[in-house]
Amino acid sequence: MELVTFIAESAADAAQQVRERLGPSAVVVNIRPLPATKAKWFGRRKPTFEILAYRPEDTASSREMVGGTRLDAVSDAPAGPESRESEPTRGIAPEVPEPEPVSGGDAPRGDWATPQSEPLSGGGSWKVGRLLEASGFLPANAQRVIDELRRVHGETPPETWGEELELARTALMRLWRPAPRLPDEMRRPHLFVGPAGVGKTTCLCKWLTQSVLLDGKPVRVWRLDGSTANAAESLSVYCEILGVPLERRWSGMPSTEGGEMGFIDIPGVDWRLARPLGELKQQVEGFGSPIVHLVLNGAYDLPLLLKQVRAFAGLPIADLVVTHLDEETRWGKLWNLVLGTNYTLRFLSAGQNIPGEFVCASPEAIFLRQFPA
Ligand SMILES: Nc1nc2c(ncn2[C@@H]2O[C@H](COP(=O)(O)OP(=O)(O)O)[C@@H](O)[C@H]2O)c(=O)[nH]1
Ligand SMILES: [Mg+2]
């Protein structure tokens, strides 16, 4: 896979150059503004940006390595498996106890084929429970999977480890709750909330870039202050690059024919304090009925993540977006958010590249990293 660099002055210019050189299936990995001095080297005076793209040889493995946005994809959602319809559910599952710290260090990749562990105490002779814990499951959630396996297949696991693992995957697929389909109508803006520095603005930029590059959709962005000033200058730069209007004051979704997709960026809040959380709640109410995505840094410890989910539970959270997955090897821990809260996972995001890796959350996407071949 060869990454090719392009210099462009607009999204349309970039898409055309990439298509001409690499064909319609080209994948865009990263877009970044060029400093004025560097742009001058290329004889450009206008705001200029650099785009990194490649032609996939083997689409699946290439995308797995670097992520990116396929220019020929026909979709209004980020790259990844389709999310299916389901009823939204809210809040922390009441039956799940306070999280305990996850024991054990990072499980080395590739060790999945050889179980060296004892069965969980409540797991009969099923051994996969320990493996789930090593991949990031809380003991209570690993036990839930084992209970499901015993309920469906009885006390005795199959003869081979491969079969046991396969049954565990199938059990997890059954326990997965897909994020509900996003409404087609554009009247509701997408709003990203969460602690400061978790990657809210980056996710917004990734989704925005995919929407503009893939669909040429009309999009509008609001970069708003909260209880603190919104210093995300980079968001304004990306909007300029993509030719997307950005406003600094909330003006409401315009009622244009066909509608626009709206994204609202606000600063993170200190989730340990009631006051900023209360102010955030008031601000969110002022946006009408936004689709609120709670963004979490997936590299944080699980007890902290669950505390953050609890702190934001007073808001009308639609779903969760997990970032920094490039810094986390134990993707199995994502299952604790599925099994330990009533929220659904919407997107998984890994890395600082824009559009980079930003995919719809699915069991398959998690298995790829949880049980590497
Ligand atoms: N390694 C890594 N860095 C990220 C990721 N997402 C965001 N960042 C970086 O984290 C920092 C904070 O991101 P930002 O989107 O501004 O966070 P916000 O305060 O929640 O809006 C920036 O330096 C981003 O480039 C990610 O998935 N992986
Ligand atoms: Mg931000």
Task: Identify whether 189 is preceded by a cis peptide bond (ω within 30 of 0).
Answer: no
Q: What is the pLDDT of residue 257?
A: 64
Q: What is the pLDDT of residues 19-74, one digit of tens each?
A: 899 988 888 889 988 876 665 666 666 668 889 999 887 545 444 445 777 777 65
User: Residue 275 and residue 283: Cα distance in Å, rounded?
Assistant: 12
| C-beta separation of 319 from 343 below 8 A | yes
Residues of the chain with CATH 3.40.50.300: 190-370
Residue 73: how many other CB atoms lie within 10 Å: 15
Q: Is 352 a pocket residue for ligand 1 (Cβ < 6 Å)? A: yes
Task: Encode 345-369: b = buried (16+ Cβ within 10 Å), e = exposed.
Answer: bbbbbbbebbbbbbbbbbbebbeeb
Q: Which two tokens stand for residue 275?
A: 């006051």
Q: In angstroms, what is the span from residue 38 Cα to ligand 1's centroid?
A: 24
Q: Check whether 98 has a pLDDT greater than 80.
A: no
In this prediction, what percent of the chain has a pLDDT beyond 70? Answer: 78
In terms of average pLDDT, the best of 1-10, 180-189, 200-209 is 200-209
Residues with Cβ within 5 Å of ion ligand 2? 200-201, 232
Q: How confident is the model over 141-184, as pLDDT tens digits?
A: 999 999 999 999 999 999 999 999 999 999 999 999 999 998 76
For helices 363-370 and 161-175, give the axis angle rounded to 10 degrees: 150
Proximal ligand: closest to the CA of 347: 1
What is the pLDDT averaged over residues 4-19? Answer: 86
Tell me which residue of 248, 267, 302 sits closest to 197, measured CA to CA: 267
Instruction: Provide long-range contacts, Cβ within 8 A and 24+ apart, for 207-211.
Output: 207/78, 207/263, 207/347, 207/358, 208/238, 208/239, 208/242, 208/244, 208/263, 209/28, 209/31, 209/69, 209/238, 209/242, 209/354, 209/355, 210/69, 210/78, 210/79, 210/355, 210/358, 211/76, 211/261
What confidence category does residue 221 fall into, taking pLDDT thresholds of 50, 70 and 90? very high
Q: Which residue has the higher pLDDT, 101 or 215?
A: 215
20's CB contacts (< 8 A; 6+ apart) are none
β-pairing, 261-265 vs 190-193, is parallel
Q: Could you tell me the pTM of the whole model?
A: 0.84
Burial 29-49 (b: 16+ CB within 10 A, else e): bbbbbbeeeebeeeebeeebb
Mean pLDDT, residues 258-277 taken together? 93
Strand, coil or helix: 208:
helix
pLDDT tens column, 226-253: 999 999 999 998 998 888 999 999 988 8
Rounded Cα–Cα distance for residues 194 and 207 (Å) = 17
pLDDT at 198 over 90: yes
pLDDT, residue 35, reads 75
Q: Which one of 31, 191, 198, 202 would you pick to mutate in the ligand 1 pocket, going by the greatest count of ligand atoms within 8 A of its CB?
A: 202
Please report which ligand is nearest the Cα atom of 323.
1
Percent of the chain scoring above 90 in pLDDT: 56
CB-based burial label for 308 (10 Å; 0-12, 13-18, 19+):
buried
Q: Which of 89-93, 205-209, 292-296 has the lowest mean pLDDT?
A: 89-93
Average pLDDT over all residues of the chain: 83
Dihedral angle sign, alpha carbons of residues 69, 192, 185, 179 = positive
According to the model, what pLDDT value does residue 99 have? 35
Length of the chain: 373
Domain 190-370 in CATH 3.40.50.300? The answer is: yes
Please determine, for residue 113, whether its predicted confidence score (pLDDT) is greater than 50.
Answer: no
Is the torsion defined by CA of 8, 9, 13, 14 positive or negative? positive
Ligand 1 atom nearest residue 197's Cα: 19
Residue-level pLDDT at 184 = 66
Q: What is the pLDDT of residues 319-364, one digit of tens each?
A: 999 999 999 999 999 999 999 999 999 999 999 999 899 999 999 9
Amino acid 81: pLDDT: 41
Query: In this structure, which residue's CA is closest to atom 6 in ligand 1?
Result: 199
